[in-house]
Amino acid sequence: MTQENYDPAAHYDRVTEAWGLLLGEELHWGVFSSPDEPLAQATNELTTRMISASRLSPGLRVLDVGCGSGTPARRIATEHGVEVLGITTSQVGIDAATAKTAAAGISGVTFEQRDGTDNQLPDESFDRAWVLESSHLMPDRQALVSECARVLRPGGRMALCDIIRRRDIPFAELRERREDFAVLRAGYGAARMDTLEQYAGYAESVGLVVDEVTDLTTETLPTLDKWRETSAQHRDEVISLIGKEGYDTFVISLDILEGFWRDGTLGYGLISAAKPA
């Protein structure tokens, strides 16, 4: 599958339900202070890191770009009194997020099908842009960050966390490890990884002032063991949702990701950047 013909919306439509079983309610990596912690506590901790990087306060309007099934959006609305618009290209994600939010009786949180790289929302209409582990799925990273900056009011802030590349990968190595990259593409979509410095560069190029850059690679590594546990636990259900090949791809990808995490190729990071008042 090439980057050109890959459709992230179709990918997420296909995997959203299985991801809920494998990754948990929050569709992202966890931040662990000890490998014994439960996965849900660690995924919750990553959201907590985003909350603190976002400097939330009641009444702010937040754009959640790549909202998944809306668990972080519901949490920030209920715990911090913010109003949230969650956007994703996946209609399955929108339906799940909307149903869960209605079932929980939460107001002030809505979801719309929109593309984070061309969101069509009015200029300066949000106080915060929140991008939790969705940027790697958007090929035009500069467009994503430009759109976030455009919709922010002066004095607003963007917080973004995601899988990152931590070193240059020479072409010869890319070729040598092409089977590993093909497995990751099949499992997670045609993601491309940027360094934290590249993310900071995108933000600065559109006038944002980057004031936090945090590498979370070590703290996120135990996530892979937790996903090994959830994949063993939910094997049959996941196979019924994404097929045996999809399941096997996920399981194999865990070893590949662990290798990349441990050898310093890939990792996890967070940046926060303010729009000058």
Site of interaction with ligand SAM (CB under 6 A): 8, 12, 26-28, 65-68, 71-72, 87-90, 93, 115-117, 132-134, 137-138
Tell me which residue of 183, 162, 193 sits closest to 251, measured CA to CA. Answer: 183
CB-wise, 32 or 170, nearer to ligand SAM? Answer: 32
Q: Which is nearer to ligand SAM, 93 or 222 (CB)?
A: 93
Nearer to ligand SAM, 54 or 88 (CB): 88
| C-beta nearest to ligand SAM: residue | 68
Residue showing tokens 């976002």:
54
Residues ≥6 apart with Cβ < 8 Å to 104? 74
CB 116 → ligand SAM: shortest distance, Å? 3
The H or E element containing residue 13 is: helix 8-23
User: What's the min distance (Å) between Cβ of 137 and ligand SAM?
Assistant: 4
Q: Which is nearer to ligand SAM, 11 or 179 (CB)?
A: 11
Query: Sheet containing 209-215: which strands, arranged edge to edge?
Result: 109-113, 83-88, 61-65, 126-132, 152-165, 266-274, 209-215
- Rounded to the nearest whole angstrom, what is the least distance from the CB of residue 173 to ligand SAM in the complex? 26
66 vs 222, beta carbon nearer ligand SAM = 66
Residue 25 or 155 with smaller CB distance to ligand SAM: 25
Least distance (Å) from ligand SAM to the CB of residue 112? Answer: 10
Alpha carbons 71 and 88: distance in angstroms, whole number: 13
Provide DSSP, 62-73: EEEES-TTSHHH
Q: How far is the CB of 117 from ligand SAM (least distance, A)?
A: 5
Question: What's the chain's length in residues?
Answer: 277
At its nearest, how many Å lie between ligand SAM and the CB of residue 265?
Answer: 20
User: What's the helix, strand, coil split of the chain in %, to 5?
Assistant: 50, 20, 30
- The residues, any chain, with a CB within 8 Å of residue 252's CB and separated by 6 or more, are 183
